Amino acid sequence: MAKYHFLIYHRDYRGFLAELRDLGAFHVKEKNEVPASLKDQLKDLGVLQDIFNHFEEKPLFKETGKELPRLITSEIHSKIQENIQLSKELDALKSELALLLASFGQFSKERIAELKAHQIYFHFFSCKLGQWESKWEENFAIEKLNETAKKTYFVIVSRDSKPPQIHAQTEIMPEHGAKEIEEKIESLSAQIENNKLILREFFERNREDLNYTYYKIKDQFHFDKIEVQGEKLNDEKFIWLEAFVPIDKREAMETELQNKSCYFEEEAIQEGEKIPILLNNNKFSKLFEPIGSLFSLPAYNELDLTPLFAPFFLLFFGFCLGDAGYGILIVIGLWFFGHKLGPDSKSIVRLAQILGLAAVGFGIITGTVFGYSFADSQLAIPENIKSMFLGSDQLFNLSLALGGFQIIYGMVIKMVNQFRQFGFVYTLSTFGWICLVIGLALLGLDVSALGGSILSWTGVGFIMLFNDPKANIFVRLGKGLWELYGITGVFGDLLSYIRLFALGLSSSILGLVINEIGLSILDSGAIIGPIFFVVFMLIGHTLNLFIASLGAFVHPMRLTFVEFYKNAGFSGGGIKYTPFKKETS
């Protein structure tokens, strides 16, 4: 990024901002909060966004149309808010009804009141399962109402207004009966549907104008928000503004600025200054940018880890899902139905398909398809081919090997970052950690006792002497001892990678169980057996695919953000490059 400051005469300020917006390349440095004067615009934007969200649609940019009066959008917004409130009440009533039916069953409160007038009283109780006493049936007019997983609910009918003294929990009779609640549910549902019809009619009638109004207000709000970022100088006669532009656009922008009503000058970026981040990755790595942005953008002066974690994430997803059949389903399913998610989801669909291919690859090397293991099958597969499939022991070792490699890889990246930011001497402590980890691995695996010892003690020496090059030797030694305690964290990080093996194993075992249950159903009947077999297999493997895919995405993300980012020394905190331009999306 290149940093510029502008000096503009106050009468030319808004015209200059319009010209700057037309260039569409400058990220204006925001120093001031949104003032109260802009809160109305923000409120209108929220109203319009709620309208589009209600119909599950995204606003589309329109250059023509008319701006809807705020009164109309507010009136419609009140309908939306009313529906939200009614929906909450409806959900509460449904929960109340379900609880009532599960405990007390159907009853009429009016009928109970009539009986009460004739000195017939209903006393409601509950007791834990297994605590029902048979003597209650001998002593009282008692009736079991319902049983849940924890309690038995019952009622005692008596001429006495006071409840009998028994070892059970007294229950307060519900305020409303089931019939009354059902009537309220029906009434609320009718209100919600009526509001939906009004809203849908309004939306369809004004769709184009709503789109136009949304972007008009959004564009005006962003313009006004940028306007207040200028600093007034010399009795408010001049405005000072700071902005950033990508290096590759600098020359073109300077040429354009020559004819603008301002003075501009490039300024050196100060250490520690918040600089907007514009990631520049190839087609493959760009697919993984949404995953990295879930954590944080990199700081301006550190490496973008997206292309560095992307291959690992792909590998880890395949490891966790590890079924060729499931992977093929993901790829083919998204091939046919991915376009229905909309053009904005194109990159997400492509990423999911690549992850599916990784699952296919791991399914092939483990010999697993829809939970069926070819390595353990009774099929006439040559032993030399069966031996090529990876078994559970090999997968366990592979997960640890991948973890150890990524941890050391992360430390190498940390060295590169430290060299770029602080200089060579600051990399030596991290180099010491690399030596120590490799040395301990050689000793633990009994590969080379001499080599392991030399590397380990060399690492300890670098950590003790270069952990803080600015400090004196005694402070360094103290900090070094504390840092060496962190070796326990490295072992903890390594063990975290076992989850790759565990997740892959659990999904394949669950798939195997589904297959075995399905085969037992198949043998249950000549006609109905195959039908239920197909239904069960479809439902079972669909659920397993969903659960396994979720775990295969979440856990590699955890390994990336916790273990890898920590060992790579990732600090993050970058702000996204957002050029000041016309709002069209």
In tens, the pLDDT along 115-142 reads 888 888 888 888 888 888 888 988 899 8
Q: How far apart are CA 406 and CA 256, in angstroms?
A: 46
What DSSP letter does each residue of 238-304 carry, written as one string?
A: EEEEEEEE-GGGHHHHHHHHTTSSSEEEEEPPPTT---EE-----HHHHTTHHHHHTT-BPPTTS--
pLDDT tens profile 288-302: 988 988 888 888 888
The DSSP H or E segment spanning 136 is: helix 135-139
Amino acid making up residue 131: Q
> Would you say 15 and 258 are in contact if contact means Cβ atoms under 8 Å apart?
no
For 412-466, the DSSP string reads: HHHHHHHHHHT-GGGGHHHHHHHHHHHHHHHHHTTS-HHHHHHHHHHHHHHHHHH
What is the arithmetic mean of pLDDT over 446-457? 85
- Mean pLDDT score, 14-27: 90
In percent, the amount of the chain with pLDDT more than 70 equals 97
The reported pLDDT for the residue numbered 344 is 67
Distance CA 77, CA 71 (A): 10
What is the number of helices (H) and of strands (E) in the chain?
21, 13
Q: Tell me: the pLDDT tens digits for 257-312? A: 888 888 888 888 887 788 899 888 888 999 998 898 888 888 888 888 999 999 99
Q: Residue 59: its pLDDT value, please?
A: 84
Residue type, 393: D
**48-60 residue pLDDT tens:** 888 888 877 888 8
Q: For residue 572, what are its two tokens?
A: 């993050």
DSSP state letter for 161: S
> 233 - beta bridge partners?
238
Give the pLDDT score at 443: 82
Q: What's the CA angle centered on 12, arms 11 and 18, to 5 degrees?
A: 135
Query: pTM for the whole thing?
Result: 0.73
The answer to whether 579 touches 27, Cβ cutoff 8 Å, is yes
- Assess whether pLDDT exceeds 70 at residue 558: yes
- pLDDT one-digit tens code per residue, 480-512: 888 887 788 888 888 899 988 888 888 888 888
Average pLDDT (158-179) is 82
